[in-house]
Amino acid sequence: MRTPRIDGSTARPTVRPGRPGPRAFARSAARRFPAAARYLLLCLGTGLAALVGLCLLLVVLALCLVGVGLPLLPPALRLLRRSADFHRRRVGARLGGERLRTPYGDRLSLRDPAAGKDLLWLLAHGTAGTALCAGALTLCSHAFNWLTAPVWWQLLPDERGKIILLTVDSWPMAAAAALGGIGYAAVTLVALPPLADLHARASGRLLVARPRVSLAHRVRELTTSRSEALDAHAAELRRIERDLHDGAQANLVAVSLRLGMIRRALDQRPEQAAALVDSTQLVAEQALESLRSLVRGIHPPLLADRGLAEAVRSLAARCAVPTRVELHNSEAPVGSSAGRSAGPSPDRSADPPPRAPAAAEAAAYFVVSEALANVARHSGARGALVRLRITTAAIAVRVEDDGRGGAVEGAGSGLPGLRRRAAAFDGTTRLSSPPGGPTILEVEIPCGS
């Protein structure tokens, strides 16, 4: 019923979003059921394998007490790590694509906290995880048994079939079993996805170990990052020297030679002086453009004036592959797009993202620049996406393309330079590029170091 207002008009009733109806709930459960059943079936198989692996590992540990099993311990721990990594990928896919990572030590040892977590996961997955998966899949088998009672009772008329709490020995009993099977199937359809989620969340807690960093390990990390920072600085100086030698210096030498030709032409052939002046001016303009490009390569003026977000939009607009930019700041997510196929950015009026230190912004800018250059040169992609999150603590960059994939670090793709640039700030670099794509590059640069 509409409520009359003071001005005589009527107000529409406020519609509040409620819980989904039975049909929507049933559709959602039916949509989630196949993936949950596949996950539980896979985990049942890996759980049974975990029981066998647990027994073998206990035998190896027992043999280590007498020294015989010491050579077998590293291969056993390596196999355990691979099994845990396999299950991390499955659990991460079940949890919505979340990546589960555990920092392992340099050596295969039981003293590694990650190895201890893997052992705990192996025990839990082989026992409680296997029981949970078996119980969940038993629901499926019983529901199928009840639903198909009329079929197999007709195929075996001389046999009396007995199912849970019910013996099928006539057509009325078979029909009653089928009707009960519908309810059994509904319960199974609703219960299986939450059970799969429960298993995935519990496995995720066991498969992620918090790093326990010692002082010596931290010193080694800082020494490595310092060395990589020096290497990145030296590589940058070599690039500037090469650009000066091949660009501006060569053009200035040409200007000098042409000025000498102009001087001789003024004495001998004055009619050629005008053409030589024009060509010399053209070479001088090329030298000036080369110097401007070099200055932009050292530190782009747009980055200093407008900030990292605008500089990244400029890179995306100049990229040969159509590129979208999604910007997030510490206050609220803001979306924008840039590139050949993008329209005007919708977030121009939103609050600007926080400014990070100039050095961190420059590092993130060149990471995006090199990544987009790799996309244009090597990926064969039809589109790319740059996600940029700027906070007061760190700058997170994610560059994704739909190209052919198969990117390998160290194969002339510039990825080692990106890793060194991030390591100079104690940052992290992650690359995922399976054959066939997509290629995802994630770089995080802390702002407090």
Q: Which residues of 233-253 are buried (b: 16+ CB within 10 A; e: fewer)?
A: eeeeeeeeeebeeebbeebbe
Domain boundary among 151, 173, 207: 207
Same domain, 194 and 277: no
Looking at the fold, whether 397 and 379 belong to one and the same domain comes out as yes
Task: Between 428 and 173, name the one with better pLDDT.
Answer: 428
Alpha-carbon gap, residue 386 to 397, rounded angstroms: 7
As a whole number of angstroms, the distance between CA 406 and CA 436 comes to 7
* C-alpha dist (Å) from residue 386 to 3, 322, 427, 439: 49, 11, 18, 12
- Please write the tens of the pLDDT for every residue from 368-380: 888 888 888 888 8
| Residues 407 and 263 reside in one and the same domain | no
**DSSP states of 80-93:** HHHHHHHHHHHHHH
* Strand order, beta sheet including 394-401: 333-335, 323-329, 384-390, 394-401, 439-446, 428-432
Query: For residue 8, what is the DSSP state?
Result: S
Do both 307 and 400 map to the same domain?
yes
Higher pLDDT, 158 or 387: 387
Examine the domain organization and report whether 174 and 32 are in the same domain.
yes
Query: Position of tokens 């845990």?
Result: 84
377 and 245 within one domain: no
- If you average pLDDT over residues 280-288, what whole number do you get? 81
Q: Are residues 375 and 441 in the same domain?
A: yes
Residue 292 counted as domain residue: yes
Q: Decide if pLDDT at 54 tops 60.
A: yes
- 16, part of any domain: no
pLDDT at 226: 67
**Residue 14: inside a domain:** no
Look at residues 423, 361, 367 and name the one whose alpha carbon lies nearest to residue 390: 361
- Is 13 domain-assigned? no
**pLDDT at position 11 over 50:** no
Asked if residues 240 and 298 have their Cβ atoms less than 8 Å apart, the reply is: yes
Please state the φ and ψ torsions of residue 53, each to the nearest 5 degrees: -65, -35
Instruction: Report d(CA 88, CA 103) in Å as an integer.
Output: 13
Q: For residue 12, how far is the Cα from the chain centroid? A: 45
Residue type, 380: G
How far separated are the first and last CA of the chain, in Å rounded?
A: 62
Give me the CATH number covering residue 322.
3.30.565.10
Instruction: Please check the confidence at residue 105 and state whether its pLDDT lies above 60.
Output: yes
As a whole number, mean pLDDT of residues 10-17 equals 44
Residue 258 domain-assigned (yes or no)? yes
Q: Quick one: what percent of the chain has pLDDT higher than 90?
A: 2
Say what the pTM is.
0.46
Residue type, 19: R
Number of Cβ atoms within 10 Å of the Cβ of 152: 13
Peptide bond into 346 cis (omega under 30): no
Residue 390 structural domain: 301-342+350-446
Residues whose CB falls within 8 Å of the CB of residue 321, separated by 6 or more in sequence, listed in order: 339, 372, 375, 376, 379, 381, 382, 383, 384, 401
* One domain, residues 147 and 72: yes
Residue 61 and residue 179 in one domain: yes
State the burial class of residue 115 (Cβ atoms within 10 Å of its Cβ: 0-12, 13-18, 19+). buried
Q: How many domains does the chain have?
A: 3
Question: Based on the domain organization, do 119 and 246 belong to the same domain?
Answer: no
3-state helix, strand, coil in the chain (%, to 5): 60, 10, 30
Please check the confidence at residue 234 and state whether its pLDDT lies above 80.
no
Confidence of residue 386 (pLDDT cuts 50, 70, 90): very high
Please check the confidence at residue 444 and state whether its pLDDT lies above 80. Answer: yes
More confident residue, 432 or 211: 432
* Residue 354, phi-psi category: left (phi > 0), alpha (psi -120 to 50), beta (remainder): beta
Q: Average pLDDT of 168-193?
A: 77
Rounded to whole angstroms, the Cα distance separating 104 from 413 reads: 27
Higher pLDDT, 245 or 323: 323
Contact 398, 439 (CB under 8 A): no
For residue 385, the SS3 value is strand
Whether residue 66 lies inside any domain: the answer is: yes
Which residues, 6 or more positions from 431, have their beta carbon under 8 angstroms from its beta carbon?
407, 409, 415, 439, 440, 441, 442
Lowest mean pLDDT among 43-52, 325-334, 400-409: 325-334
Do 167 and 236 lie in one domain? The reply is no
Output the pLDDT for position 369: 86
Q: What is the pLDDT of residue 336?
A: 36
Q: Return the percentage of the chain with pLDDT > 70, whole number.
A: 73
**Does the residue 1 lie in any domain?**
no
What is the token pair recorded at 211? Answer: 């790093």
Q: Are residues 187 and 133 in the same domain?
A: yes
* Res. 56: pLDDT tops 70: yes
Quote the Cα angle for 303-304-309, to 5°.
35
- The domain boundary, picked from 207, 223, 255, lies at 207
Q: Is the pLDDT of residue 409 over 50?
A: yes
> Which of the listed residues 207, 241, 273 is the one where a domain comes to its end?
207
